[in-house]
Amino acid sequence: MRKALALTLALCLLNVPGFAAATAPSAAPAPRPLPQEDQGYVPYSPEQLDNLLSPIALYPDPLLAQVLLAATFPDQIDEAARYVRGYGSNGIDDQPWDVSVKAVAYYPTVIYMMADRLDWTTALGQAYVYQSTDVMTSVQRLRNMAQAQGNLVTTPQQEVIDQGGVICVWPANPRLIYVPVYDPAIVYVRRPSWGLAISFGVGFLIGAWLNHDCDWGGHRVIYTGWRGGGWVERSRPYVQVNNIYVNNRYTNVVVNRNVVNRTVSYTNINRYNSVHRDVNFNNHARNAPPPNPNYRPANQNIDRNINTRDPRLDQYRGHENQQRPAQPVENPQPNRPVAQGANRAATQAARPAAQVNQRNQPSRPARPQANQPASPAAQPQSQSPPHAFGRGEGGFPAKQASQRGQESRASKPSAPARPAPSREIRGNEKRK
């Protein structure tokens, strides 16, 4: 009996932990905490991501990978678009842009679209920085929608491959890649009433700059280094690889996280055509950082020449140029000897002000001081207007000089008159 009771008690004690664990409420998995700088971010909903990615979801995989990375460099996108408009594709490899921006710059229609919609580009870059997995999932969701409507099919320009539920879009031509043109409001929801849902323009060259691809299994963009199968293996014999785009430093794909500090005008994004027309981005207004009064968009062309942040530039801004008042010239003391050179310099410095006052006021002779004989310089003299060739000739007494000249000529004896030659002498000179 005792053995039976002991065995029953042992069994009860063994079942107590299991019973407690069964009665305890199951704890839900804790969400992945965001980094400290991402605490105020509001994630995009699946419908918002669909609207954001609908213009590029049907791009070929190598071009889509470059666009997602380049969207994190909106400033470089704007600069690259202006460069391509001015110089074309010449010199793109020598520019100080990110390797993804250089790759997109080789396709003018894409770089122009991203530069013209810079708010959309910035929002796309922020979405890839925060929600890369959700971004890749949205692309696959949109491709399934377009394929279900019969709009995403294989053509001479692109090859559509279904790999176990994952839709890949590859260039059909090993040397050329085509950028699809379509309306996001139509291609994902229905067949067009006339024409094709997707059209293509001219083909662009496939070059070494297409060094990234989409890893749909890992939900990310990866660096291929022009190694692998699929379209990479097909186009590799026609591509001249260089170390500008094929380099080990690109193995770890790095995005520009500073894009999250840029302000986005979601009002502009709401106006673009999208797949979900009843969805907007109004709830993301608080994603924008507070305005910085000292913020100024970077302009490398200006910053290369001058420092526009120098506070001395505002010293005279908004003030009119004013003439400085003339410094008064101290007159020398009567009993104090003054050097001749200093007196002459003081006279020349004060002459412009005296000439201005002379036009409006009559000249007055200097009054001699008491108990002191007047010096010759203090005698009243007639002043003449300034000479055109210098200030030193302004006080030249022309009348006195003329009188002295007449007196000098009168004091000299006149030269005796020479007698006229006779007729005989003049006749002899003619015969000679």
More confident site: 273 or 9: 273
Token pair in block for residue 47:
């419908």
CB 179 within 8 A of CB 110: yes
Parse the chain into domains and list their residue ranges. Answer: 41-292
Mean pLDDT value of segment 90-104 = 97
pLDDT at position 10, please? 55
The Cα–Cα gap between 373 and 369 comes to 8
The pTM score is 0.61
The Cα–Cα gap between 393 and 390 comes to 6
Token pair in block for residue 40:
């105020």
Q: How many CB atoms lie within 10 A of CB 221?
A: 23
pLDDT at position 283, please? 85
Average pLDDT along the chain = 76
114 by Cβ neighbours in 10 Å (0-12 / 13-18 / 19+) ranks as buried
The Cα–Cα gap between 64 and 58 comes to 8
pLDDT tens digit string along 11-57?
A: 554 444 443 333 333 333 333 444 544 556 789 999 999 999 999 99
Q: Please report, to the nearest 10 degrees, the dihedral formed by the alpha carbons of residues 404, 409, 410, 413 taken in order.
A: 150
Mean pLDDT value of segment 80-108 = 97
pLDDT tens digit string along 169-200?
A: 999 999 999 999 999 999 999 999 988 999 99
Q: How many CB atoms lie within 10 A of CB 428?
A: 11
Q: How many CB atoms lie within 10 A of CB 234?
A: 17
